[in-house]
Structure 1
Amino acid sequence: MIRDQDTLDQLLATLSRFVRERLVPNEERIAGDDSIPPAIVAEMKELGLFGLSIPEEYGGLGLTMEEEVLCAFEIGQTAPAFRSIFGTNNGIGSQGIVMDGTEEQKRRYLPRLATGEMIASFALTEPDAGSDAASLRTTARRDGDHYVVNGTKRFITNAPEASIFTLMARTDPRDKGAGGISAFIVEADSPGLSLGRIDRKMGQQGAHTCDVILDDVRVPAANIIGGVEGRGFKTAMKVLDRGRLHISATCVGISERLIRDSVRYAAERVQFGKPIGEFQLVQAMLADSRTEAYAARCMVLDAARRKDQGLNVSTEAACCKLFASEAVGRIADRAVQIHGGAGYMADHGIERFYRDVRLFRIYEGTTQIQQLVIARNMLKDMA
């Protein structure tokens, strides 16, 4: 749902210019330095990027799902590490508070998340709990007005920069399933909370992940999201529906960037006396990529509009995540092929995108998990 087309058009134009003039020229720099320059982060804060999806009453822009994915299409036109630094504030890091938090929790944390004063992180994955999120082992034992939390979280995006963690822990040791899990807001400076070394990754340099270790961390009982035990897994799943649409839209943006670069190269690169874009086998790769990107864009927009209508989009979000993340992988592969030897070299940046996009098929639910979600929902609807 688009509330004010003129205002949205201005925002999208600003984002497009920011991506083109500030982010794209710095892609190689952040890949080499494995960090985003503070000046660029400050500009992101000024543009309101840390509060895109946070409600206006708490200082954010309060974008609808459709408006958010349109913004993600623009932001996706550059290296995904740029999006990562503010993405968790708009998605899995904050949405648990937005959707299920108490009013006190919202007023305490959301305004600072919206401005970027605080960075939020989502701590669900563990060494022995990834796709099987309900099997997590981190425990939270009630002790008076606090919970004592122990465990280790793994591959936590933005953990090195985080001010707070939306953290899942088992509050009922007798319930080994999803019903025993609760969601907490854990502040990063809590005594007993420490971080592992920053992970070395295949791609997305500049976007940091690491372990989060909790050793008798005392968390106020007031920081259990929603004030009720046993709802953490449901909160996580609701958060992931929105996050999957945002990630899908980012995949669309990157796909369109790669296609644009590939078309330009095919038009300029001459072999056998003419541009390689005139050869039908190259044209076939371009056409397949354009078709897949267009299909992914249409899927994401349709699912976003359904979500804005208040419909359950668990299946549609999973479809989008599955298709868009797989499509951008194929499109990146074709981009390398079209660029030939140049595509394998770091100078053109194509090989960097090829590595960067591989992660989209893994986090916020692997492709295989999306297939299970889709099929189980279909069977549930039939029953």
Structure 2
Amino acid sequence: METLLWLLTILFAVGAVSYFRLQLLHATLAVAGALLLGAIMGYVGFITLLVFLAIAIPLNMDSIRQEYLTKPMLKVYRKLMPEMSRTEQEAIDAGTVWWDGEIFSGDPDWDSLHRIPQGRLSPEEQAFLDGPVEEVCRMMDEWDVHHNRADLSPEVWQYLKDNKFFAMIIKKKYGGLEFSAYAQSRVLQKLSGCNAVLSSTVGVPNSLGPGELLQHYGTQEQQDHYLPRLATGEEIPCFALTSPEAGSDAGAIPDTGIICKGEWEGKEVIGMRLTFNKRYITLAPVATVIGLAFKLYDPDGLIGDKEELGITCALIPRDTDGLDIGRRHLPLNVPFQNGPIRGENIFVPLDFIIGGQKMAGQGWRMLVECLSVGRVITLPSCSAGGAKTLALATGAYSRIRRQFKLPVGKMEGIEEMLGRIGANAYMMDAVTTLSTKAVDLGEKPSVISAICKYHLTEKMRTAVIDSMDVHGGKGVMLGPNNYLGRAYQGAPIAITVEGANILTRNMMIYGQGAIRCHPYVLKEMQAAALKDKEEALKEFDAAVFGHIGFAVSNFFRSWWFALSGARFTYAPFSDETSKYYRAMTRYSSNMALLSDIAMGVLGGELKRKERLSARLGDMLSYLYLGSAILKRYDDQGRQKEDLPMVHWAMQDCMAKLEESMEGLLHNFPSKPLGIFLKAIIMPFGKSFKAPEDKLDHEIAKILQTPCTARSRLGEGQYLTREEGNRMGELEQILDDILASEPLYDKVCAAANERFPFTQLHKVAEKGLELGVINEQEAELLKRTEEGRLKTINVDDFDNEELVADKSLLKTSRKRSTKAA
């Protein structure tokens, strides 16, 4: 019994100091106090206390600890530390850590999350959304763009240039708009809800490209020359990074630049002879200035003593001799300008390098830092905007379209999809709002950008597939009346670009997150790399013992959270959301613990265990997505109407997080260790299930009924009720349907007959005949019938209109004539 009490005393003392993360000295004193108390009470032996002190006192003496513990550990660490390529190192060094670091801490500070200022538009930004953005949406004819021109109309192109749509990131002193990242996101959301070609065309120059790189790294001369011209649209930029042999593995580009002497404008200068073959470059066919990434070499030592300088970025004017540009790709019938760029032995001077000669070989870091910003904004915002518009459109269609004598939106199978669409749209908007605020606060969130890119493009793909299923034939038949088919065609494009989603999930999110966001791993690596032995030992000692304490803390925290269900954990609000804060604190500790164990067991092999890495990345991702959802709910005044979407999105995130965690433990390389960890972390199994059917029903009702929750969900989208705007027309028809239903019921009651909810013009005539409705109400019923038919009908075409090669029609006619 005394032995058991002794063990419980030790366990309780260590667990308590670990849970509260006391410093080493304070932890030692606390455990010593517990043992002393046990000794006084007679169930801890005096020898045990002496043994503890014999270990603890040297451990608290820096010189002894560093000499006999830290130094051997540093030696072993340097041998085991995996080799890291230059591009991997630069990717890790680039960017900043923000709320993702807090998530990795094992104890997120929820109050600090809610202190982050809410994203807001300035009066100038709001005016741009209400004016030029609204107008260019009004100018768009999607069928004309996709089917006739395979391009935006000349009028739209000119309007974009005249109103500086390509200059949202350019500073005002160069003639740009200098909008916040949040404002850029709102613009792209509205444009993407209108048309993907439009949003892509505007998004790329304001994302990774010459404008962004010039502002951060360009010489004064380059900035003064190019930025004003980019602001006015006199120059159209593109950025050429991807090669046929190097897509997501952009660091492996085979394109080269050789430093040599050559003639430029009649003079012999030191320059570069460039050979490159690029693919999938957005805006390349119309670009006037090309940002080019290549590997630069100096074999003759003309500018230094290094032969291989590394990835470099340069600006190449379109009229450069030897540049092959202008042909187009056709990305899944979504014809934004995209094409190849080639060049062989093109000579350009060194001052074409962005930032000049001093930036030779610095291109990869430049790209990674700028990509971490652009990737937070462009694709996630376009995905969120598309999902928001789809949610409202699919909800409206589900209420308008009837089958089996009731609106299809009342069928449970449709409700399931509407629930998923609505909740995901809520979550996606929340994520873009929080993430773009990070950029506006000066962050370059590389890990968060990967999370946003992967999860929001995947959610958009799910949303558009669900919407297609709800619309059925309406979504399948292309034509001017189809507002869905092009989004369906374009969804895989976002999955593929800016790093394929498979790579992003399996390698990037956790590959960078484990090092960047962990409070100690990067510090250990940096300490081990120091040349000064004394400094390296001191820094490594602080990092490695901090890491040990961190891991022990997360072990006991995870155990306690599992046993208690995290019920006693702090939550900033005592309402329906408190359980989510507590659960995420628990899972934050779980993720940190599992990360340390996975890295400890697998070492450098972890980055090759991509599915394990992906599951750890999923845990990090879902904690971030959940944080954004709760932040949005609070920022918008904790509106009870929005709770069905909050609950659905949070339960979905938590259930998927647990699924990833269980999959990680089940597939852990050491089966016994996986079983032990599951007993510690998930002794009672999963705590969350997939969202209940009731939530689907409540969200479906929101999407099909005009209300403040629905308006908040679609805020900022192009919904103006005017002819030609299919989304605005749908909103009006939805209102008309809802207003007509009581009139329909009144006529049916007066006639003592239940008419089908079709041919409402005849119902109107019957109502007038019976004297139960007036002329104005009859006109509403007639207008509703016109709108209803317009909503459910699809386009059809003459055969000749659909055949691109008209000469084939002549051949076909000749054959038909001969056969006759």
Q: 5 Å matches for 1:142-157?
A: 142-144=259-261, 145-157=270-282
Give the structure 2 partner of residue 103 of structure 1. Answer: 220
Report the secondary structure of 1:225's partner residue: coil
Partner residue of 2:374 out of 243, 247, 250: 243
Distance 1:4 1:267, change over 3 A: closer
Give the structure 2 partner of residue 163 of structure 1. Answer: 288
Give the structure 2 partner of residue 232 of structure 1. Answer: 363
Of 56-65 and 143-152, more deviation after overlay is shown by 143-152
Deviation readout 1:224-267 (Å, 9 max, x if unpaired): 01122111111111221122122110111111122222112111
Please tell me whether the aligned partners of residues 170 and 231 of structure 2 are also in contact (alpha carbons under 8 angstroms): yes
Please tell me whether the aligned partners of residues 52 and 60 of structure 1 are also in contact (alpha carbons under 8 angstroms): yes
Structure 2 CA distance for aligned equivalents of residues 355 and 77 of structure 1: 15
Please tell me whether the aligned partners of residues 12 and 71 of structure 1 are also in contact (alpha carbons under 8 angstroms): yes
Distance 1:50 1:231, change over 3 A: same
Distance 1:155 1:74, change over 3 A: same
Structure 2 CA distance for aligned equivalents of residues 3 and 330 of structure 1: 29
TM-score, normalising length: structure 2 = 0.45
Structure 1 CA distance for aligned equivalents of residues 169 and 208 of structure 2: 11
Amino acid at match of 2:485: E
Q: Which has the larger radius of gyration?
A: 2
Report the secondary structure of 1:147's partner residue: strand
2:244 maps to 1:115: no
Give the structure 2 partner of residue 329 of structure 1. Answer: 461
Q: 5 Å matches for 1:266-345?
A: 266-345=398-477
Please tell me whether the aligned partners of residues 259 and 298 of structure 2 are also in contact (alpha carbons under 8 angstroms): no
TM-score, normalising length: structure 1 = 0.94
Structure 2 CA distance for aligned equivalents of residues 41 and 153 of structure 1: 25
2:488 maps to 1:363: no
Following superposition, the deviation at residue 154 of structure 1 comes to: 0.9
Report the secondary structure of 1:204's partner residue: coil
Report the secondary structure of 1:140's partner residue: strand
Following superposition, the deviation at residue 100 of structure 1 comes to: 1.3
Q: Identify, as 1 or 2, the structure richer in helix.
A: 2
Amino acid at match of 1:199: H
Please tell me whether the aligned partners of residues 149 and 215 of structure 1 are also in contact (alpha carbons under 8 angstroms): yes
2:263 maps to 1:128: no
Partner residue of 1:218 out of 343, 347, 369: 347
Give the structure 2 partner of residue 349 of structure 1. Answer: 483
Give the structure 2 partner of residue 9 of structure 1. Answer: 126
Give the structure 1 partner of residue 319 of structure 2. Answer: 189
Structure 1 CA distance for aligned equivalents of residues 460 and 298 of structure 2: 41
Unmatched tracts of structure 1, length 5 or more: none
Give the structure 1 partner of residue 150 of structure 2. Answer: 34
Structure 1 CA distance for aligned equivalents of residues 461 and 173 of structure 2: 38
Distance 1:167 1:261, change over 3 A: same
- Higher relative contact order, chain-length normalized (CA < 8 Å, sep 6+): 1
Give the structure 2 partner of residue 58 of structure 1. Answer: 174
Amino acid at match of 1:241: S
Q: 5 Å matches for 1:251-262?
A: 251-262=383-394
Please tell me whether the aligned partners of residues 15 and 71 of structure 1 are also in contact (alpha carbons under 8 angstroms): no
Q: Identify, as 1 or 2, the structure richer in strand.
A: 1
Count, aligned residues: 379
Following superposition, the deviation at residue 122 of structure 1 comes to: 0.6
Structure 2 CA distance for aligned equivalents of residues 230 and 130 of structure 1: 20
Structure 1 CA distance for aligned equivalents of residues 120 and 409 of structure 2: 41
Please tell me whether the aligned partners of residues 252 and 293 of structure 1 are also in contact (alpha carbons under 8 angstroms): yes
Please tell me whether the aligned partners of residues 89 and 120 of structure 1 are also in contact (alpha carbons under 8 angstroms): yes
Amino acid at match of 1:41: W
Give the structure 1 partner of residue 189 of structure 2. Answer: 73
Report the secondary structure of 2:333's partner residue: coil
Structure 1 CA distance for aligned equivalents of residues 153 and 375 of structure 2: 27
Following superposition, the deviation at residue 196 of structure 1 comes to: 6.3
Following superposition, the deviation at residue 82 of structure 1 comes to: 1.1
Following superposition, the deviation at residue 31 of structure 1 comes to: 0.3
Please tell me whether the aligned partners of residues 131 and 365 of structure 1 are also in contact (alpha carbons under 8 angstroms): yes
Task: Report sequence identity in percent.
Answer: 25
Report the secondary structure of 2:170's partner residue: coil
Amino acid at match of 2:125: L
Amino acid at match of 2:220: E
Amino acid at match of 1:50: F
Distance 1:49 1:331, change over 3 A: same
Structure 1 CA distance for aligned equivalents of residues 191 and 355 of structure 2: 32
Amino acid at match of 1:370: T
Report the secondary structure of 1:226's partner residue: coil
Give the structure 2 partner of residue 208 of structure 1. Answer: 337
Amino acid at match of 1:148: R
Structure 2 CA distance for aligned equivalents of residues 86 and 219 of structure 1: 29
Please tell me whether the aligned partners of residues 243 and 364 of structure 1 are also in contact (alpha carbons under 8 angstroms): no
Structure 2 CA distance for aligned equivalents of residues 210 and 173 of structure 1: 30
Amino acid at match of 1:71: V
Structure 2 CA distance for aligned equivalents of residues 102 and 42 of structure 1: 29
Of 295-304 and 372-381, more deviation after overlay is shown by 372-381
Amino acid at match of 2:402: V
Report the secondary structure of 2:319's partner residue: coil
Structure 1 CA distance for aligned equivalents of residues 137 and 183 of structure 2: 20
Please tell me whether the aligned partners of residues 54 and 114 of structure 1 are also in contact (alpha carbons under 8 angstroms): yes
Report the secondary structure of 1:148's partner residue: strand
Report the secondary structure of 2:451's partner residue: helix
Structure 2 CA distance for aligned equivalents of residues 199 and 46 of structure 1: 27
Please tell me whether the aligned partners of residues 269 and 276 of structure 1 are also in contact (alpha carbons under 8 angstroms): yes
Following superposition, the deviation at residue 75 of structure 1 comes to: 1.6
Amino acid at match of 1:185: L
Q: CA RMSD for the aligned pairs?
A: 2.0
Following superposition, the deviation at residue 203 of structure 1 comes to: 3.1
Amino acid at match of 1:46: D
Please tell me whether the aligned partners of residues 15 and 75 of structure 1 are also in contact (alpha carbons under 8 angstroms): no
2:302 maps to 1:180: no
Following superposition, the deviation at residue 172 of structure 1 comes to: 2.8
Structure 2 CA distance for aligned equivalents of residues 176 and 153 of structure 1: 24
Structure 1 CA distance for aligned equivalents of residues 364 and 370 of structure 2: 10
Give the structure 1 partner of residue 41 of structure 2. Answer: none
Distance 1:229 1:252, change over 3 A: same
